[in-house]
Amino acid sequence: MAELKLMKGNEALAEAAIRAGADAYFGYPITPQSEVIEYLMTEHPEDRTGMVVLQAESEIAAINMVYGAASTGKKVLTSSSSPGISLKLEGISYLAGAELPAVIVNVVRGGPGLGTIQPSQADYFQSVKGGGHGDYKLYVLAPSSVQEMADFVEDAFDIAFKYRAPVLILSDGLIGQMMEKVNLKDQKERMSNEELIENYGDWAVTGKTNRERNIITSLDLQSEKMEARVRRLMKKYEQMEKEDLRFEKIMCDDAEYLIVAYGSSARISQKAVELAREKGLKVGLLRPITLFPYPKQELFELADQVKGILSVELNAGQMVEDVQLSVQFKVPVEHFGRTGGIIHTPEEILEALEQKIIK
342 makes contact with other proteins (CB under 8 A):
no
Q: Which is nearer to other proteins, 26 or 257 (CB)?
A: 26
Q: Pick from 41, 87, 205, 342 the residue near other proteins by CB under 8 A.
A: 205
Element (H, E) at 290: strand 290-292
Under the binding rule (CB under 8 A), the answer on residue 193 touching other proteins is yes
> Distance from CA of residue 119 to its chain's centroid?
15
Which helix or strand (DSSP H or E) is residue 220 part of?
none
CB 27 within 8 A of CB 55: yes
State yes or no: residue 226 binds other proteins (CB under 8 A). no
The reply to whether 165 sits near other proteins by the rule CB under 8 A is no
343: contact with other proteins by CB under 8 A: no
- Pick between residue 61 and residue 342 the one whose CB is nearest to other proteins: 61
Q: How far is the CB of 120 from other proteins (least distance, A)?
A: 28
CA 130 – CA 122 distance, rounded (Å): 14
Work out whether 134 is an interface residue with other proteins (CB under 8 A). no
Return the C-alpha torsion angle 31, 36, 37, 41, nearest 10. 140
Q: How far is the CB of 228 from other proteins (least distance, A)?
A: 18
Q: Which is nearer to other proteins, 192 or 355 (CB)?
A: 192
Q: Does residue 207 interact with other proteins by CB under 8 A?
A: yes
Cβ contact 335:313 at 8 Å: yes
Is 13 in a helix, a strand, or coil?
Answer: helix
Cβ contact 68:110 at 8 Å: no
Q: Is 280 in the site for other proteins (CB under 8 A)?
A: no
Q: Which residues pair with 290 in a beta bridge?
A: 141
Region from 161-169, 203-211, 313-321, 339-347 binding other proteins, contact rule CB under 8 A: 203-211
Strands 52-55 and 76-80: unpaired
Across-strand partners of 183? 4
Q: How far is the CB of 220 from other proteins (least distance, A)?
A: 11
8 Å CB contact between 263 and 340? no
Residues 263, 233, 81, 310: what is their CA dihedral angle, to the nearest 10 degrees? -30
How far apart CA 243 and CA 290 sit, in angstroms, is 12
Question: Binding residues for other proteins, how many (CB under 8 A)?
Answer: 38
- Told to check if 65 binds other proteins by CB under 8 A, we report yes
- Rounded CA-CA distance 184/187 in Å is 9
Residue 213 as a binder of other proteins (CB under 8 A): the answer is: yes
Tell me the window of 122-130, 160-168, 213-221, 305-313 that interacts with other proteins (CB under 8 A): 213-221
Which DSSP symbol is given to 318? Answer: S
Assess 157 for contact with other proteins (CB under 8 A).
no
Which range of residues in 19-27, 117-125, 167-175, 275-283 is near other proteins by CB under 8 A? Answer: 19-27
Footprint of other proteins on 81-100 (CB under 8 A): 90-91, 94, 98
Closest approach, Cβ 74 to other proteins, in A, equals 5
Give the distance, in angstroms, between the CA of residue 33 and the centroid of all CA atoms in the same chain.
Answer: 14
Which candidate, 75, 95, 78, 70, places its Cα nearest to that of 21?
Answer: 75
d(CA 320, CA 330): 14
Q: Is 209 in the site for other proteins (CB under 8 A)?
A: yes
In the complex, what is the shortest distance from the CB of residue 96 to other proteins, in angstroms, rounded to a whole number?
Answer: 12
Among 26, 157, 292, 336, binds other proteins (CB under 8 A): 26
Q: Pick from 41, 60, 226, 343 the residue near other proteins by CB under 8 A.
A: 60
**Binding stretches for other proteins (CB under 8 A):** 23-24, 26, 52, 54, 56-58, 60-62, 64-69, 71-72, 74, 76, 90-91, 94, 98, 193, 205-209, 213-219
